[in-house]
Structure 1
């Protein structure tokens, strides 16, 4: 069960308790529509490859495999470069999770926009404030990934940065109740970041760079 979403939208935020949902319009001619359908499928496949070959196979997130195998991850691809449109996509994704328990989590994949990491950090700051404003505090938690992700005070070529580097900028929406339940049953969850830092540094910069680059290979799976 893979859901892909292509958004060309006007900002239309609703409180998540409201039954109204934003309207989404696709002003595409048939040729452009076919292009975006193909492009969306490629972006989702590259993202799934990253999840499998990097995040899961190298145990960067020990909780990802269950949801990947259950097909409970929703993939939404947006080509917007506009902050307001991106935020609309984020809220729509939250509203979908409100009403669809089959999906445990959602990845909003920004296929074209926010390639500059500083711009992406600004987006994350605004997005987190918007979730609170929309009444989602304590309901959803936002994580983030980016091709140029760098931790504060870390050199840009530190392999540890690759624990949060991804093929595209991504907003990851997680159900907070699910996170709390999982962490209760996981021994020493606070050690996961330290383990990942040590592990990626042991792999070395060339190896982690190759892992990410291989996600773009046509035959990657």
Structure 2
């Protein structure tokens, strides 16, 4: 189900390094990236159902490999529109975790090229906090999230700080930065 696609994996890794870590959008990403604890998995899934199977495969892998901190499940062929993706990640993916009894162990966060925060205009630069080169589902260990939040002096300040940084950069600069990540992949 999950296969490596070097261009999408390389573009996603470049995005993590340049955007997520490089702009300090996630203070917890750099240690995991430097330690090699992020798995970049690219699936050929083209439907929401196939994507759920890929999600299950990746969650099971995280269960079996405690040295892996997190997985970025990139799905360039599935749920390409924001309108399809948003309800899937917040509905189907979370429901699967709950039905499998894994919602206390894992959580999912969506990243998408069309990501838009509720209440924000589509062209607001703050949306680039969760805009990625391809649709992807970030699978996180719940205990790691809780530990990261507890270890940060002010985790609530991170989202507001990100909005300020991204708005100062502007949409065009951010679009170009992500485009270069894709071109390198």
- TM-score tier, shorter chain, comes to over 0.9
1:75: Cα distance to partner? 1.4
SS of the residue 1:189 aligns to: coil
TM-score, normalized by length of structure 2? 0.95
Match of 1:146 among 101, 112, 115: 112
Q: Give the counterpart of 2:59 among 71, 77, 94.
A: 94
Distance in 1 between residues matched to 2:144 and 2:182, nearest whole Å: 31
What are structure 2's unaligned runs of at least 5 residues? none
Q: Which residue of 2 aligns with 1:42?
A: 7
Q: Are positions 1:210 and 2:149 aligned together? A: no
Question: Which position in structure 2 is the counterpart of 1:157?
Answer: 123
Bigger radius of gyration among the two: 1
Conservation of the 8 A alpha-carbon contact between 1:5 and 1:75: no
Which structure has more RCO (C-alpha within 8 Å, separation ≥ 6)? 2
Q: Size of the alignment, in residue pairs?
A: 184
Partners of 2:108 and 2:50 in 1: how far apart? 17
- Taking the TM superposition and a 5 Å limit, the aligned residue runs for 1:28-177 are 40-124=5-89, 125-177=91-143
What are the Cα deviations for residues 163-182 of structure 1, in whole angstroms up to 9, with x where unaligned? 10000000000011011111
Contact 1:47 1:215 in 2 (8 A): yes
1:21 corresponds in structure 2 to none
The alpha-carbon deviation at position 5 of structure 1 amounts to 3.0
Please identify which structure carries the higher helix content.
2
Moved over 2 A (4+): none
Q: Is the 8 A contact 1:81 1:112 kept in 2?
A: yes
TM-score (norm 1): 0.80
Contact in 1 for aligned 2:8/2:182 (Cα 8 Å): no
2:136 and 2:94 map into 1 onto residues whose CA distance is 14
Map of 1:5 onto structure 2:
2
108-117 vs 164-173, which deviates more?
108-117
Q: Give the RMSD, CA atoms, in angstroms.
A: 1.3
The separation in 1 between residues aligned to 2:124 and 2:66, in whole angstroms, is 38
Q: Hey, what's the Cα distance between the residues in 2 that align with 1:209 and 1:41?
A: 22
